[in-house]
Amino acid sequence: MPVTLNEPLCVLQRLCEELEYSELLDKAAETADKYERMVYIAAFAVSAYSSSYHRAGHKPFNPVLGETFECIREDKGFQFIAEQVSHHPPVSVCHAESKNFIFQQDMRIKTKFWGKSMEILPLGTIHVFLPKTNDHYQWNKVTTCVHNLFSGQRWADQYGEMLITEENGDATCKLTFVKASYWSSKRHEVFGAVLSRDGKVVHNLFGKWTEALYCGVAPTVKCIWRPGTMPEDYELYYGFTRFAIELNELDPELEKLLPPTDTRFRPDQRLLEEGNIAAAEISKQQIEQSQRDRRKRREELGIEYV
């Protein structure tokens, strides 16, 4: 695909973006009640989709095999690392940790084309560990669909069932991301509940993955999460959030510390960020061809990538 369809970030950086609202995990770690902890975990799971609302117009770069991305956010208290561990099929993995949580994910996807739209079906699992409470949560991702692929204004929808479980089985959360309808103005809705071991509803959750997630019933509804404000002129910068804008920064000190496999060193991605489209296109083709050549060479020699 032409580089003009890309944004100057790669899939590994998009995985890091899912930690933009990591303070929700911090709150979960400090919450004594197991059901309230699950509420914050659910809010964190929903928050991962919020940035996609402004980003349907472009796709991230596909990482090459062995590509990595590292990020240390002292302001948020976590360290993150991701790597592309398989090319066919594409598999990305990541690990992040702080004093309050450990976050892990393996991301594998299937895609389906439906003429004017494309469905992205994630197959991996997300894991969150809270050392203070000795909790282990895991959940699946829902389906992403990009509409109007070749004409008009592209927009993204998220839909499907998300089940969040806790290893001890004391609490679960079932969330439904509602599929948008052409005959309804309602979009981006999500609702669900935190359930006890015996299946009783403890907390009701509802909202929009683009706007906010609420807990409770009227008149005692509480807002658990709301996305941050977008930067000025964000439409001119691929719809990036403030968090996303910082992911590709590379100062001289950081450059000395990063391995050569880090995605910040990808010339095609950097050239696109700088607005040099023609050079970015050439560089992208060269990188992709080099990956094909390396794979062919490994196959000829019977070498398995590990």
Rounded distance between C-alpha atoms, residue 99 and residue 91, angstroms: 27
pLDDT at position 306: 75
Answer yes or no: are the C-beta atoms of 199 and 184 closer than 8 Å: no
- Helices (H), ranges, the chain: 11-17, 23-29, 34-47, 242-245, 252-257, 267-273, 277-301
Query: Distance (Å, rounded) from C-alpha 174 to C-alpha 32?
Result: 21
The domain tally of the chain equals: 1
Contacts for 34 with CB less than 8 Å, ≥ 6 apart: 133, 135, 166, 170, 171
pLDDT of residue 272: 97
Q: Is 104 a member of any domain?
A: yes
pLDDT at residue 44, rounded to an integer = 99
Nearest to 258 by CA among 97, 72, 13: 72
In a domain, 284, yes or no: yes
Alpha carbons 85 and 63: distance in angstroms, whole number: 10
Peptide bond into 89 cis (omega under 30): yes
Is there a contact between 261 and 271 (Cβ–Cβ < 8 Å)?
no
C-alpha span between 128 and 25 (Å, rounded): 9
CATH of the domain at 147: 2.40.160.120
Residue range of the domain that includes 172: 3-301
CA distances from 33 to 9, 27, 29, 39 (A): 38, 11, 10, 10
What size, in residues, is the chain? Answer: 306
Q: Is pLDDT of 111 > 90? A: no
Residue 306 included in any domain: no
> What values do phi and psi take at 221, rounded to 5?
-75, 140
Q: Does some domain include residue 219?
A: yes
pLDDT at 185 over 80: no
Q: What percent of the chain has pLDDT over 70?
A: 100
User: Per-residue pLDDT for 150 more than 90?
Assistant: no
CA distance 85 to 67: 8
Tokens of 264: 């910040």
Q: Can you give the pTM of this predicted structure? A: 0.95
> Which pLDDT tens digit goes with each residue over 230-258?
999 998 899 999 999 999 999 999 999 99
For the chain, give the longest Cα–Cα distance: 68
How many other CB atoms are found less than 10 A from the CB of residue 105?
Answer: 21
Q: What is the dihedral of CA 142, 58, 110, 299, to 10 degrees?
A: -140
Tell whether 101 is covered by a domain: yes
